[in-house]
Amino acid sequence: MAKILLATEKPFAPVAVEGIKDVAAKAGYEVVLLEKYTEKQQLLDAVSDVDALIVRSDKIDAEVFDAAAQLKIVVRAGAGYDNIDLTAATAHNVVVMNTPGQNANAVAELVLGLLVFTVRNFYNGKAGTELKGKKIGILAYGNVGRHVAQIAKGFGMDVYAYDAFCPASVIEADGTKAVESQDVLFENCDIVSLHIPATPETKQSINYALVNKMKKGGILINTARKEVINEPELLKLMEERSDLKYITDILPDAAADFEKFEGRYFSTPKKMGAQTAEANINAGIAAANQIVGFLEDGCTKFQVNK
Ligand code: 3PG
């Protein structure tokens, strides 16, 4: 009987765990749970006899692969797989997949929720502003970016996007205005929402020069990864420009330094973007189905370490 380990430092909603167990049971597989673990050793012990692993942002490095002699597949139940050492996975002959799009709506809803919270002065009772008519710039038009565009249009916002890999024609076909560079996006928009993955090219790419292109009163919102922000440069800019706001779903390394920008900075204490029952069900069940498809039929759709 194949064994699937669901290792989630930040647990799924119980209903999603039940859904994963149902999919596994139908295939005759066993599911074991490791939730809210605090020590890496707990993960190393738990992977020792499993065939498949489902994780979220849990760090899966070479040491984990070394400890998992039977492991054949890891599915990151979510979009970004920067938490998984793909080179080590390939070296251990382990297939890695993600579940693209499954939690995109949840993240996009959080973006608009955080924006309402921000333009209403964090609900402090003072008169704020509205999102209607404001220009929002979406940096990277993937699954989350597209959902943000759709919801922002519902708010009556003027929606722009830049994506280095998605053709302008695809963006425009969606009724979103494509711009020619990220510089132009920052120059033109009142709000910029980040949806780029953390890659060697994007790490620290949101820097002083880029954010300083924003107009007076600009809002930068990050529901992507903290690694894409050049934190020392953003801190310096926020010291110099008292009009800028930074809103994030990923606690910065220098959180204490950002805290001093009262009324201009907000971070969720723990990444909340994908933390809905629906997103957990979608991503978790997709992950379980992908494992069954791979172990039964060798299906490698969504493999990311090809
Ligand atoms: C993702 O990459 O799918 C999101 O950042 C969600 O991450 P999480 O599963 O750790 O909440």
pLDDT tens-place string over residues 147-206: 999 999 999 999 999 999 999 999 999 999 999 999 999 999 999 999 999 999 999 999
* Listed residue (185, 267, 195) closest to 218, CA to CA: 185
DSSP category for residue 201 = T
User: Please, what is the average pLDDT of the chain?
Assistant: 98
Q: Can you give the length of the chain in residues?
A: 306
pLDDT at 108: 99
Best residue for ligand 1 mutational test, from 59, 103, 147 (most atoms within 8 Å of Cβ): 103
Average pLDDT over residues 125-149: 98
Measured in Å, residue 148 CA sits from the centre of ligand 1 at: 16
pLDDT at 42: 98
Terminal-residue alpha carbon distance, the chain:
27
Burial string for 213-231 (b: 16+ CB within 10 Å, else e) reads bbeeebbbbbbbbbbbbbb
Q: Rounded CA gap, 300 and 306, in Å?
A: 9
**Shortest-distance atom of ligand 1 to CA 275:** 11
Best residue for ligand 1 mutational test, from 6, 10, 17, 56 (most atoms within 8 Å of Cβ): 56
In percent, the amount of the chain with pLDDT more than 90 equals: 99
pLDDT at 78: 98
**Shortest-distance atom of ligand 1 to CA 57:** 10
Best residue for ligand 1 mutational test, from 226, 271, 278, 302 (most atoms within 8 Å of Cβ): 271
pLDDT at 195: 98
Q: Rounded CA gap, 96 and 143, in Å?
A: 20
pLDDT at 107: 98
**Shortest-distance atom of ligand 1 to CA 272:** 11
**Shortest-distance atom of ligand 1 to CA 58:** 10
pLDDT at 208: 98
State whether the beta carbon of 250 lies less than 6 angstroms from ligand 1. no
- CA distance readout (Å), 59 to 90, 157, 180, 199: 16, 37, 35, 16
| pTM of the entire predicted model | 0.97
pLDDT at 62: 98
State whether the beta carbon of 273 lies less than 6 angstroms from ligand 1. yes
pLDDT at 233: 99
Q: Rounded CA gap, 239 and 259, in Å?
A: 12
State whether the beta carbon of 57 lies less than 6 angstroms from ligand 1. yes
> What digits encode the pLDDT tens for the residues 204-257?
999 999 999 999 999 999 999 999 999 999 999 999 999 999 999 999 999 999
pLDDT at 102: 98
Measured in Å, residue 225 CA sits from the centre of ligand 1 at: 9
Q: Rounded CA gap, 282 and 12, in Å?
A: 11
State whether the beta carbon of 100 lies less than 6 angstroms from ligand 1. no
Radius of gyration over every alpha carbon of the chain, rounded to an integer in angstroms:
20
